[in-house]
Amino acid sequence: MAVHTRLLALSLFTSLALATPLANPLYSRNLLLQDALKAVPSGFALAGAAPAQTPLKLRIALTQQNPDAVVNALYSVSDPYSDKYGQHLSKAEAAQLAAPSEESVNAVNAWLAEHGLNATTLTPAGDWLEVQVDVSRANTLLAANYSLFTHRSSGVDAIRTLSYSIPAALKGHIDLVHPTTAFPELVQNNVVRGKRAFHEALLPRASSSVCSGGTTPACLQELYHIPTTPATVTSNKMGVTGRFGNNAHYDFLKVFLEKYRPDMSSSTNFTVTLLDGGNNDQDVPSVSEGELDIQYTVGLATGVPVDYIMVGFDSQDGALEGYLDEITYLLSLDAPPQVLTTSYGFSEHSLSFELTDKLCKAYAQLGARGVSILFASGDGGVGCQENSTAFAPTFPSNCPYVTSVGGTQGHAPEEAWGGSSGGFSNYFPRPAYQSPAVSAYLTSHAPAHAAQHFNASGRAFPDVSAKADAFQVWENTTASLFGTSASSPTFASVIALLNDRLAAKGKAPLGFLNPWLYEKGVHGLNDIKDGNSSVECNGQDIGFAAVPGWDPVTGLGTPDFNKLLTVVGL
């Protein structure tokens, strides 16, 4: 079978600043503290000073000339009642809105030149620079004290500093430098093997349903009215994020299609893009996630070209574990995939707001170009923090510019899956597009003592949901997998097929989904009213209940392709 693999470098756009040290070092005096931690983050221990010659790749985020321009453009082209709805931006237009001022570029380059450093521009907008230094020079540049820290439970080492400074003259030109004070957290993949349902379905399941033997493509097609007819527009594509050696095996996909999609050609395949030293080695054992994501996109979005974007361990963005590298790559494309699904995430509190916000704004830039970005909400329910009553929201689901997908279980009726993560961000305020739906929930259904547990004014998630239980995956044997890792590819496949129908009629893709979902798309969704999320935390069983309307377990509900087709006017 033909397998197409593309090796890409992340530094796709390079511009070098003059590296001649200035005679009058204006920027190396009057340093201003940019960020500082009060203590070593929980779970880490100081191991000692970092060796002076250890190489570092510093990412410098420049302040955008108009910080609100990208988000304003995103909403303008995504609000179904806007005159500009569907008029997505080109790569150049989006980059121009996200660009720093010429003054900022010149000032930062002059500072770096004082230290004999060259900056590489990483993004089309020029808002991220990279500088290669060693620890000794980084300490001088940032008045930092880079040290070696070890994560106690995993043994992972990280070179970080507890504080850093920038020249006072660059305040307003630099948003942050990374990696500095943001410590890495192991990224979670949201898939569980062989986990039973958290509670029994409220009503007996119909034994005649094709869902009675577990979740398969046929089950999802019946439940959500997903068509089996192939897509016809080859330019309409879907990207699937892969990480951590979660390789997708071609032979496993072939058997899966033979077993569960006999109406499709078993030679149907996917392309692979490799970032950060990633590989899709076919000789390593399966670890489930890659098989799940590919089998339930290729095998569900019939005929839609799928690209598996495999991000390796050699991430260039520090604590962001390749998230920034992936979005940088996608922004560099003239024609990125119209849908991107990702089944991985962090705890919100593991990253600073500043770093989270920069990445979130990058998602907004991609959304303004017409890309629907979907993330699994997570499998930890409301999230548990040790010795705390506060719930723990997840990232990137907390970002207002992506679509968060929660989980359901069963089929007669469909109800909330107990592990479905959801809640309210402590970083981002509630966006206007979801305010009526979330306000209605809080007015009628807010749990007792809500203020102790969550920030009711924060961005609420998930936005939507799909089945998360008993997905039948082939990995040299049949595995039954649970988690919102299954939900996100499922919902993304529905959007990809809707985009195909739109493209066939000469219409724009759906792009950033949320304003449309809360205003119009909700009429094409199945409202999930039963079940609840559930997680044991500090000796208590806590969670949210699914209720009529939006709720922080299943969002607005699960997709119905036929109804959504009507909503988009087809």
Catalytic residue ranges: 289, 293, 485
- β pairing state of 339-342 and 271-275: unpaired
Q: Which residues of 273-291 are buried (b: 16+ CB within 10 A; e: fewer)?
A: bbbbebebeeeeebebbbb
Handedness of CA 447, 518, 463, 184 (dihedral sign): negative
- Rounded Cα distance between 61 and 73, Å, is 21
Closest CA to 368 of 329, 336, 325: 336
Q: Which token pair is 68?
A: 């609100």
Please give the DSSP secondary-structure letter assigned to residue 100: B
CA-to-CA distance for 372 and 273, rounded, in angstroms?
19
Both structure tokens of 501: 């129908």
Question: Would you call 72 helix, strand, or coil by DSSP?
Answer: helix
Q: What is the 3-state secondary structure (H, E, C) of 435-498?
A: HHHHHHHHHHHCCCCHHHHCCCCEEEECCEEEECCCEEEECCCEEEEECHHHHHHHHHHHHHHH
How large is the C-alpha radius of gyration of the chain? Answer: 23
**What are 404's strand-pairing partners?**
375
Q: Residue 239 to residues 157, 170, 298, 493, 505: CA-CA distances in angstroms?
A: 31, 38, 11, 10, 22
For the record, the structure tokens of 473 come out as 């995956």
* Residue 243: its H or E element: strand 238-243
| Tokens standing for residue 511 | 């792009």
Query: How far lies 347's CA from each of 77, 186, 422, 428, in Å?
Result: 30, 10, 12, 14
Q: Which helix (H) or strand (E) holds 403?
A: strand 403-409
Find the length of the chain: 570
